[in-house]
Structure 1
Amino acid sequence: MAGEGAGDRATAQAWRALGGDAGLVGRVGYRGAGGLGEGPLPVRESARATVGVCALAAAELAAVRAGGGADDVAPLVVDEGAVATAFVSERHLRVEGRAPVSFAPLSGFWRAADGWVRTHANYPHHERALVRALGLREATPEALREAVAGRGAVEVQERAYGEGGLAVAVAGEYGAPQPLVEVREFAGRRPAWGAGALPASGVRVLDLTRVIAGPVATRTLGLLGADVLRIDAPGLAESDDAYADTGFGKRSALLDLAVSGDRAVFEGLLAEADVVVSGYRPGALERYGLGVRELMARGRPGLVVAELCAWGWRGPWAGRRGFDSLVQAGYGISAACGSEAGPGVLPAQALDHGTGYLVAAGVLRALAQGGGRALRYSLAGTASWLVRDVEPAPVAPVGYTAGPWLREVPSGYGRLRVAASPLPGAQWLRGPSRWGTDDPTWLPR
């Protein structure tokens, strides 16, 4: 029902974590039938709350840029069908009629001698690392199944990690509590972006993210008018299907930060950026002198830096690689969603998508406050919120179908069928260019 946001606890929790005015939460309502209700955890409630606070943050920034304040934020309504469709956007994607490959043959759950292991081998370098770690005679599911069956789950996990691969023992209990977002304040100064039709018009976003959570965040900022420029290293190729799904609203260029000429170009981009969004694990950018304090010192006054990682920012796993599926396994969610047949999964990669909308919301709120903020998120933080704090809402209306929320658009990859954005009132008119083919320059303001 429209207006339900006034009593929606998950929305209030997320908005409070972002530092938002509690009086604005009632301006978000939800309507329509939605999916994501399968399983024991309140995924539907957490998903719509992340989209709701993102839409609210966009409305707040629009009001501030128009010279107003909280009283000028108009009520808005999020459709739960759009949320459910967007949270499984990768399943709805079609590239010239072809369905993408979501998980590679060596990605999945495998029974170990004393439990279960979840592997992630979608990228070729991760598959090669897994093959090396376990001494597989060939890169086949049969060989992997045999190798895992003869070892303990933690042994498989540590062997894979030691070779740069990705495997996580399925945990039987929830992981330690993690914050939903952490905020540090630096000197702020709201830049003069000029007039714009959308909340983030004229805002320049340097996108240093990969896969789903970070790209969803920057895709959303691009939808709201920002000039988003994604930068990747030339030796670390991206999946075309992944970029076809998350490359909307941005451009993509390649720079090698170890090469002086490319580093100089990057420094020039940084000097004119309003926002930096990083999805690299803790410590990765510090090797290049690009930690938060260095970014703040060399960037524009009022710069906003948003960092996200898999396992959180403290503890022995902080520096480990991770994906949504692995965090579900290692945080205890897969066990909670499982059965006698083995571990299970959430009805969507909700840690990825939910974190992405929370990152975008935090950036929008930081811009409305004048910038000068560093934000930290993690998939484990979103998982912690989901399993500990989010409560089931009343039973959702039945009758959800994805059809009304699917769109066809042209792109650098051909004709795409994609999920529409769940944010009210804004949609993409075309898909992304091809990954890595754009110039590393900002558009004119």
Structure 2
Amino acid sequence: MTGITTDINTAWGELGGDPALVSRVSTVARRGALEARLPVRELARACVGACALAAAELGALRGGLTEVPGVVVDDGAVATAFRSERHLTVDGRAPVTFAPLSRFWRTADGWVRTHANYPHHRARLLEVLGVPDDVDAVGAELARRSSAEIEEAVYAAGGLAVALRTPKEWAAHEQAVAVAERPLVERERLDGAHARELPPVDGSPLLPAEGLRVLDLTRVLAGPVATRTLTLLGADVLRVDPPQLPELPDQHADTGFGKRSATLDLTADRRTFEELLAAADVVVTGYRPGALDRFGLSPQALAERRPGVVVAQVSAWGAYGPWGDRRGFDSLVQVASGIAAVEGSAEQPGALPAQALDHGTGYLLAAAVLRALTEQSREGGSRSVRLALARTAEWLVHGIEVGEGTEAEAGIEDMEGIEAGDAEDEAYEGPGPWLAETDSALGRLRYALPPVFFAGGPANWARPPVPWGSQPAHWV
């Protein structure tokens, strides 16, 4: 897509922000942060910078400030946060990231990547292949079949496998065409609901989302990153999961900071669910498109029952096109979109240095919610925002030109509450300065600090994560 630059102007413009506010953002550049063939560092800067600016804007509105606080995007903090799930330790134990059957496999004519971290996805993959849960057996069977055959058969069974494509091959795919036609951030005003009067906030730190209730119906990883960011900014985030689908423990620990966690069967206990919806200011969903519509969770249905609500949705492939109802994850979108071929080759695929599609989209989703709240306070109306990992991938591969708009490092000034650092191009020598430790009910945690910085804003979450499903499904 033409006309997209590496600074936050594009992201901020997609969010509907005032272009003049971009001058409030400064960058601390660090060599070696998120190194890749594709401009991952520039993508990460733009997403985090836009999120921090949206938070600062809403904070200024609610705090009665005459000027939007300054924002600093530090490559070190961003690079560390974009790999937060890899930096997490629990009582000194390294995290479990990918299961043995979640990986690249050679096929009869190329490569596929599977995702089998969850037991039900692993079971469906093995069922299609007709082999035991054994890496060698799976590899031997996949080597007999074509990549396209595997992709279609596994998806038809409810599993996850994607054939490796080059950027050119993906661009010719019907889903890629549909994705490229959409904006990076889809925004819609749903009705004429009265303007929301957000109560003023007055505290140190300044919490732009204080007092807002966010119903978190998300899983892996972009949605939880977005809601983790909203709780950093003061929102009361209640994550609700089906009791029959436990979250992966380390993943829950990484993205659960500041949140409460409950389980609820939406079919069996509809009354409780409706009570949660009736008091929610924001609803964030991260399941495949259409999966939650039967529970009345489409944006329009929610706006009819809860005028003034903000509905935020994220999916892998987008809610349109032939893959609009498919499940997906960051690793799979990298493979389909040509990213894996660029970072490696068609003969030996590679990967980005982080799950940058997940993290980048997560920060953009949080930014979209914050901007929707700002617009709503001025103009009214229930709001819907929607993002897709595949659209973020399109931006990364075809939209960002390395070097254009990235030299905002000059002129950084010290701001109250923020260590802006040196404006020179320093080296990223590891995550250490952006890691912290805390005790929790899950054990002693080492974790990545949040990268969203604005003057006077929070530097850390108020609470550590709690055990999955350990709290009641109601607002406090």
TM-score range (shorter-chain normalised) is over 0.9
Counterpart pick for 1:15 among 12, 17, 42: 12
CA distance in 1, matches of 2:32, 2:76: 7
Structure 2 counterparts to residues 353-372 of structure 1, below 5 A: 353-370=359-376, 372=382
Contact map agreement 1:193 1:201 (CA 8 A) in 2: no
Gaps of 5+ in 2: 408-424
Deviations 1:236-268 (A, max 9, x none): 111111000000111011111111xx2111111
CA distance in 1, matches of 2:73, 2:475: 32
Task: Tell me the residue number matched to 2:330.
Answer: 324
Structure 2 counterparts to residues 228-247 of structure 1, below 5 A: 228-247=237-256
| Farther off after superposition, 220-229 or 424-433 | 424-433
In the alignment of these two chains, the number of paired residues is 431
Counterpart pick for 1:403 among 427, 432, 448: 432
Contact map agreement 1:409 1:429 (CA 8 A) in 2: no
Contact map agreement 2:58 2:374 (CA 8 A) in 1: yes
Structure 1 residue identity aligned to 2:151 = Q
Contact map agreement 2:287 2:314 (CA 8 A) in 1: yes
Structure 2 counterparts to residues 117-136 of structure 1, below 5 A: 117-136=112-131
Structure 2 residue identity aligned to 1:383 = A
Q: Post-superposition shift, 1:191?
A: 3.8
| Farther off after superposition, 12-21 or 423-432 | 423-432
Gaps of 5+ in 1: 1-6
Task: Tell me the residue number matched to 1:3.
Answer: none
Counterpart pick for 2:57 among 42, 57, 60: 60
Contact map agreement 2:25 2:71 (CA 8 A) in 1: yes
Is 1:375 aligned to 2:408, yes or no? no
CA distance in 2, matches of 1:433, 1:34: 36
Task: Tell me the residue number matched to 1:141.
Answer: 135
CA distance in 1, matches of 2:359, 2:440: 22
Contact map agreement 2:5 2:400 (CA 8 A) in 1: no
Is 1:185 aligned to 2:189, yes or no? yes
Counterpart pick for 2:162 among 148, 161, 168: 168
Could you tell me the percent identity over the aligned residues?
57
CA distance in 1, matches of 2:136, 2:58: 53
Structure 2 counterparts to residues 220-299 of structure 1, below 5 A: 220-259=229-268, 262-299=269-306
Deviations 1:380-415 (A, max 9, x none): 111111111112136953243210001001222111
Structure 1 residue identity aligned to 2:284 = V
Residues 399 and 232 of structure 1, relative CA distance in 2, 3 Å threshold? closer
CA distance in 2, matches of 1:87, 1:29: 19
Task: Tell me the residue number matched to 1:421.
Answer: 450
Contact map agreement 2:283 2:311 (CA 8 A) in 1: yes
Is 1:93 aligned to 2:115, yes or no? no
Structure 1 residue identity aligned to 2:277 = L
SS of the residue corresponding to residue 225 of structure 1 reads coil
Task: Tell me the residue number matched to 2:465.
Answer: 432
Contact map agreement 2:449 2:460 (CA 8 A) in 1: yes
Structure 2 residue identity aligned to 1:165 = G
Contact map agreement 2:288 2:315 (CA 8 A) in 1: yes
| Farther off after superposition, 194-203 or 214-223 | 194-203
Deviations 1:260-296 (A, max 9, x none): xx21111111111110000011111112222111111
SS of the residue corresponding to residue 415 of structure 1 reads strand
Contact map agreement 1:207 1:230 (CA 8 A) in 2: yes
SS of the residue corresponding to residue 369 of structure 1 reads helix
CA distance in 1, matches of 2:329, 2:152: 16
CA distance in 1, matches of 2:355, 2:216: 21
Q: Post-superposition shift, 1:339?
A: 3.4
| Farther off after superposition, 395-404 or 349-358 | 395-404
Q: Post-superposition shift, 1:180?
A: 0.9
Structure 2 residue identity aligned to 1:440 = A
Instruction: Using structure 1 for the length normalisation, give the TM-score.
Output: 0.93
Contact map agreement 2:49 2:73 (CA 8 A) in 1: yes
Higher relative contact order (Cα pairs below 8 Å, separated by 6+ residues) = 2
Structure 2 counterparts to residues 340-351 of structure 1, below 5 A: 342-351=348-357
Task: Tell me the residue number matched to 1:205.
Answer: 214
Structure 2 residue identity aligned to 1:252 = S
Q: Post-superposition shift, 1:341?
A: 5.2
Instruction: Using structure 2 for the length normalisation, give the TM-score.
Output: 0.87
Contact map agreement 2:165 2:338 (CA 8 A) in 1: yes
CA distance in 2, matches of 1:185, 1:292: 10
Q: Post-superposition shift, 1:302?
A: 1.6
Task: Tell me the residue number matched to 1:313.
Answer: 319
Contact map agreement 1:279 1:308 (CA 8 A) in 2: yes
Q: Post-superposition shift, 1:216?
A: 0.3
Task: Tell me the residue number matched to 1:4.
Answer: none
Task: Tell me the residue number matched to 1:154.
Answer: 148
SS of the residue corresponding to residue 443 of structure 2 reads coil
CA distance in 1, matches of 2:103, 2:437: 31
Residues 419 and 37 of structure 1, relative CA distance in 2, 3 Å threshold? closer
Q: Post-superposition shift, 1:37?
A: 4.0
Contact map agreement 1:279 1:307 (CA 8 A) in 2: yes
